[in-house]
Amino acid sequence: MARLRLGVLISGRGSNLQSIIDACAAPGFPAEVALVLSNVPGVFGLDRAAKAGIPCTVVNHKDYADRPSFEAVVDAVLCEAGVQLVCLAGFMRLLTEGFVSRWHDRLINIHPALLPAFPGLHTHERALAAGVRFAGCTVHFVRSGTDDGPIIVQAAVPVLDGDTPDALAARILEQEHRIYPHAIRLFAEGRIRVSDGRVHVAGARPCTGALVNPPL
Ligand code: GRF
């Protein structure tokens, strides 16, 4: 069966991109990276794409007068590459309503927090300041609000005594690298349906057990 064609949008180091590339390399994975697009020239994620032999391109937002003209080029490049699902992976540009609605339910993002808690930047600092006992990450469909949209997969990790933002970020990032490929697989297998702003996953095993922190 034809594999789902992914367009991965990045702005930086691309560790989530790498997890997607690695997942796609596994036999039987139902998706492939058709294109990597960065809005920032020279970032390490582009080297990762090149090393994997994946077509990559830079569309530098600074070369465009406004967001719509930047996004028109991004859109054209994605369409040209036959992209079927757009995956934001550390892509640090806000997207306009026009772009988001054009790719409605075909545009997903990963965010390093348990949404709807802590949208936006500095999530780890804010989670530590709030004293939450669990943190985590979320893959979700993109809507026009910041880090808003139907949730596909989440992973939770404990916050530990003495955590620094970097330590917590590293614990969460490890889970990001697991759940982004998982969400892509579910989408590619046609198991995801969105209704009333919520995601329904066909054939998923129930998630059982509870995490308690500090442990009982
Ligand atoms: C990740 O933490 C992701 O959740 C957030 O930006 C970071 C990107 O990291 N949206 P990388 O470029 O994938 O390593």
Asked whether the domain spanning 111-216 has the same topology as the one spanning 1-103, the reply is yes
For the chain, give the percent of residues with pLDDT over 90. Answer: 99
Bridge partners for 201 per DSSP: 192
Q: Which superfamily does CATH assign the domain made up of 111-216 to? A: Formyl transferase, N-terminal domain (3.40.50.170)
Which CATH architecture best describes the domain 1-103?
A: 3-Layer(aba) Sandwich (3.40)
Domain boundaries in the chain? 1-103, 111-216
32 contact partners, CB below 8 Å, separation of at least 6? 3, 4, 5, 6, 24
Q: What is the pLDDT of residue 1?
A: 78
Q: Is the pLDDT of residue 178 over 90?
A: yes
Facing residues of 141 across strands?
108
By most ligand atoms within 8 Å of CB, the mutation choice from 171, 173, 174, 177 for ligand 1 is 173
pLDDT at 89: 98
In this predicted structure, the answer to whether residue 117 has a pLDDT above a threshold of 90 is yes
Neighbours of 85 (CB within 10 A): 21
pLDDT of 20 reads 98
**Which of the following is catalytic: 61, 104, 111, 177?**
111
The average confidence (pLDDT) of the chain is: 97
- Distance in angstroms (rounded) separating the CA atoms of residues 74 and 9: 9
Across 45-75, b (16+ Cβ under 10 Å) vs e yields: bbebbeebebebbebebeebeeeeebbebbb
Instruction: List, as one string, the DSSP characters of 133-181.
Output: SEEEEEEEE--SSTT-S-EEEEEEEE--TT--HHHHHHHHHHHHHHHHH
3-state helix, strand, coil in the chain (%, to 5): 35, 25, 40
- Do residues 44 and 14 touch, judged by C-beta distance below 8 A? yes
Is any ligand 1 atom within 6 A of the Cβ of residue 158?
no
| Ligand 1 atom showing the smallest separation from residue 13 Cα | 12
Could you give the count of Cα atoms lying within 13 Å of 54 in the half-sphere of its Cβ?
A: 28
Please report the pLDDT score of residue 163 as a whole number.
98
Atom 10, ligand 1: residue with shortest CA distance = 90
Residue 182 clears pLDDT 90, i.e. is over it? yes
The predicted pLDDT at position 170 comes to 98
Instruction: State pLDDT tens for residues 121-158.
Output: 999 999 999 999 999 999 999 999 999 999 999 999 99
Share of the chain above pLDDT 70, in %: 100
Residue 167's pLDDT is 98
Q: Please tell me the number of Cα atoms within 13 Å of 204 on its side-chain side.
A: 18
Q: What is the DSSP letter of 62?
A: G
CB of 136 sitting under 6 A from ligand 1:
no
Which pLDDT score, from 0 to 100, does residue 149 have? Answer: 98
Query: What is the pLDDT confidence band of residue 160, given thresholds at 50, 70 and 90?
Result: very high
